[in-house]
Structure 1
């Protein structure tokens, strides 16, 4: 995996964790990780990655 692929994975993982934490804080622990993964399963826009 190249550097951009690794960066995408890192950014996506961090975003999933933040979303999961936010849902858990609201009390939705059962589906928090599933919702986070579904939300961030969309293609990652390469435009937003700094070159």
Structure 2
């Protein structure tokens, strides 16, 4: 068994992105905003790991 991706719900997206970039070396590859539903998704990758 292997994990394909992980989804995390956070209170402060910018702060969380900064943490994963600076501490673990993740890169933001896509950002999706749905104003109607009121959410923003940040897709971050490092190697074979997707958050």
Superposition TM-score, scaled by structure 1 size: 0.27
Q: From the two aligned structures, give the one with the greater helix fraction.
A: 1
From the CA coordinates, give the structure whose radius of gyration is larger: 1
Superposition TM-score, scaled by structure 2 size: 0.27
Q: From the two aligned structures, give the one with the greater strand fraction.
A: 2
